[in-house]
Structure 1
Amino acid sequence: MGYIKGYDPDSLRELVDPAECEARLEEIADLRSLPSMLERVWLLKVLGRLDDALRLADEAVRQARMAGTRKDLLRARVLRATVQQYRRAHASADHELAACVAEAEGQGWVPIAAFAHQHRGRNAFEAGEYDQARESFKRTVFLRREAGADDAALEAALLAVDTVERRRDPVVVNG
């Protein structure tokens, strides 16, 4: 999404311009397609409107299950899990993300597997599960390379690996 200005180096969450996100949310408020629903979920999530985001994410998953493809359903489930992550329901988010990773990898859907691993890593990172976060982020890098991702996508994944390694093994300073 073009609204991401970068990533917070400490939390790994997206940095966005809230006014820009609010304007886009208003612009697409009445659209009912699955892609617009997913975009609205993401916008609500980054704006901190988590109850609304979760309700809409549940609706998007139902719509994808009934009228979308299996890939659509996986994307919707990953996004719903990220809302759970933001709500600090880390165990629930991890369970959903692990299932999405397994299905995407089992089907050979490399970009979706990388997307799911990235978010599983971020969820684990926030939960303080640094070994799991590191494993997921490293898998993201591998899968993105395999998929031929651009340098920016690889850089974001490598930054996440570096961040979790610094958090996992902090340097002790005497003095």
Structure 2
Amino acid sequence: MEVANEALRQARFTGDREQLAAARLRRAQVLQFQGKLPEAASEMTAIAEEAATHEWTRIEAFARQHRGKVHFDQGDLVAALADFKAAVFLREKHGASADQLESSLTAVLIVESILDERHAAP
């Protein structure tokens, strides 16, 4: 967390808002990894909204992908699926690498599979 906070401070000094959003997103990932899921989701939501406003498609896709993971960890599969699908769309839009696109597509397939199993269970 100390490194993430320092990166955030450095990004603030540059004056580049897109780089600041990316640093905030990395810090939110640290919160996620620490198990502080509500805080991580809140920050990722703010970043996704800011990125959408400024058409920073790459950052928005990254925020949606990771917020989807937070929703998944919280057991909110419907919200996770929505974020993963949005990440697929955004990554296709900005021409992301095949690995990034595959990551999002795999997440969609996994969540859809779990939801299908739940709906099929008696």
Residue 58 (structure 2) pairs with residue 111 (structure 1): yes
Contact 1:117 1:140 in 2 (8 A): yes
Matches of 1:152 and 1:58, distance apart in 2: 28
Residue number among 101, 115, 121 corresponding to 1:168 in the alignment: 115
How far does residue 141 in structure 1 lie from its aligned partner after superposition? 0.4
Task: Tell me whether 1:85 sits opposite 2:32 in the alignment.
Answer: yes
Structure with bigger helix share is: 2
**What is the CA–CA distance in structure 1 between the aligned matches of 2:29 and 2:114, rounded to whole Å?**
21
Higher relative contact order (CA 8 A, sep 6+): 2
Q: How many residues align?
A: 121
TM-score between the two structures when normalised by the length of structure 1: 0.64
Within 2, Cα distance between the matches of 1:91 and 1:167? 23
Cα distance in 2 for partners of 1:101, 1:91 equals 15
Aligned to 1:132: 79
Q: For residues 15 and 77 of structure 2, what CA distance do their matches in structure 1 show?
A: 34
For 1:7-156, what aligned pairs fall within 5 Å after superposition? 54-156=1-103
Query: What amino acid is the match of 1:74?
Result: A
Residue type matched to 2:107 in 1?
A
Greater radius of gyration (CA): 1
Deviation at 1:173, TM superposition (A): 6.9
Percent sequence identity over aligned pairs? 40
- AA partner of residue 71 (structure 2): A
Counterparts of 1:160 and 1:102, CA distance in 2: 21
Q: What residue ranges of structure 2 are gaps of 5+ in the alignment?
A: none
Tell me the CA shift for residue 59 of structure 1: 1.5
> 1:3 aligns to what?
none
Output the CA distance in 2 between the equivalents of 1:66 and 1:128.
38
CA distance in 1, matches of 2:18, 2:91: 17
- The unaligned stretches of length 5 or more in structure 1 are 1-53
